[in-house]
Structure 1
Amino acid sequence: MPVAMQDVMRMLCSISEKKKMLVAVEPSNRCRRLAIGGAILGALLGGPPGLAVGGTLGGLLGKAMTDDPFKPVHKILLVLSQDQRRKLFDRVKAIIWNLRWINNMELMELVMRSESLQQQLADMLVDFLKTELTVDVQFGDHLLGAGVPRD
C-alpha cells in the first residue's frame, strides 16, 4: 500500500521529538549590532569610559535577547522544500519498503512500537540533515554534556 508523504513527515516529527533531536542554528547578528550601538552611544555620551560601558551593556543586552541556539528537528522538517521532502520520503521508503501494513495508521503504529525501526529512521534523518542541510544534529539528553559527571 502506498504511504502518504504527510504521514511520513508526521512520523519523523514524532521520532525526532521523542529522541529530543536538536540542530544548532546560526546566532543572529542582533548581539553584535547592540554591542556596537551601545559602544557608539556610550562613546558619544561618556567618552572612552562610556565606550567600554556602552559596549559591555549592549553586548549583554544582545546576548539576553538572542534566540535559543538550538532548534528542534521537527521544526526544521516543517519548513523543508518540496524537493527536500521528496528526497527524505524516498529514504524513508527504502527503510520501510519490506514492512507489511494495511493502512498508514498501522504503519505508524508498527514504527512507533519498534525501537529498532525508530533508531534506523533517526539515523537516516541525522544523515539526511548532515548531507542535505549541512547541519549537525544533537540529542537533548547529551546536549552540552548533560548527564556526564563532572570532576
Structure 2
Amino acid sequence: MPVDTRELMEAIAIIANERNVQVTMKQSAKGAMVCAATAFIGGILLGPVGLAAGGTAGGLMAYKMTGGTFRPLADVLLNDLNDAQQERLVRHVNNAVAQFAISDLAMLLPLLMNNAGIQQAVLNTAVSFVTNELKCQVIQ
C-alpha cells in the first residue's frame, strides 16, 4: 500500500522541525564576503584596530542583509516544492528506508515517528534532496 505523499511530507516536516533544520538560499556566502571585505578595508585603513572594527561592521551588515532569509526546512518542503518534486522526494525516502525491511509502506509513518534510525535516514534524504534540487544550504 503506497504512502500518501502529503502525509509523508508532513511527517518529514515534523522531524525537520524537531531537529530545528534551517535552509538558506546561498545567503551565508554573501554574508561572509561582505564581512571579509569590510574587515580587509578596515585593516588597510586602520591596521589591527581597523580589522576588528571592519569585521564587526561587516558582521552587522551581513546580519542586516541576510535577516529573514533563513527558513525552516519544513516550510520549504511543504510550501516550495511542486508536486513533481514532492513525488521525487517521496521516492528517494522510500529508497532510503528500504534497508529497514519495512514490508508494508503503510507501516512507514508510525515507524518514522518512533525510530531514530529511520528518522535520521529520512532527514538525511530530505537534506540531500533540498541541497541538490533547490541548491539550498542547510544548517543543522
Q: Name the TM-score, length of structure 1 as normaliser.
A: 0.59
Secondary structure of the equivalent of 1:23?
strand
CA contact (8 A) 1:26 1:69 kept: no
Secondary structure of the equivalent of 1:100?
coil
- CA offsets per residue over residues 109-137 of structure 1, 9 Å max, x none? 21111111111111111111111011111
> Which residue of the partner structure matches residue 39 of structure 1?
none
Structure 2 unaligned runs (5+)? 28-60
Which structure ranks higher in relative contact order (CA pairs < 8 Å, sequence separation ≥ 6)?
2
> Which residue of the partner structure matches residue 125 of structure 2?
124
CA contact (8 A) 2:26 2:137 kept: no
Counterpart amino acid of 1:137?
V
The structure with the greater share of residues assigned to helix is 2
Counterpart amino acid of 1:21?
V
**Residues 1-151 of structure 1 aligned to structure 2 (within 5 Å):** 1-25=1-25, 63=64, 67-78=67-78, 79-97=80-98, 98-101=101-104, 104=106, 106-139=107-140
- Aligned alpha-carbon RMSD (Å): 2.4
2:117 and 2:126 map into 1 onto residues whose CA distance is 14
How far has the Cα of 1:93 moved from its partner? Answer: 1.4
Structure ID, larger Rg: 1
Counterpart amino acid of 2:74?
H
Overall identity of the aligned pairs, in %: 25
Secondary structure of the equivalent of 1:137?
strand
Secondary structure of the equivalent of 1:7?
helix
How far has the Cα of 1:67 moved from its partner? Answer: 4.2
Instruction: State the aligned residue count.
Output: 103
How far has the Cα of 1:107 moved from its partner? Answer: 2.8
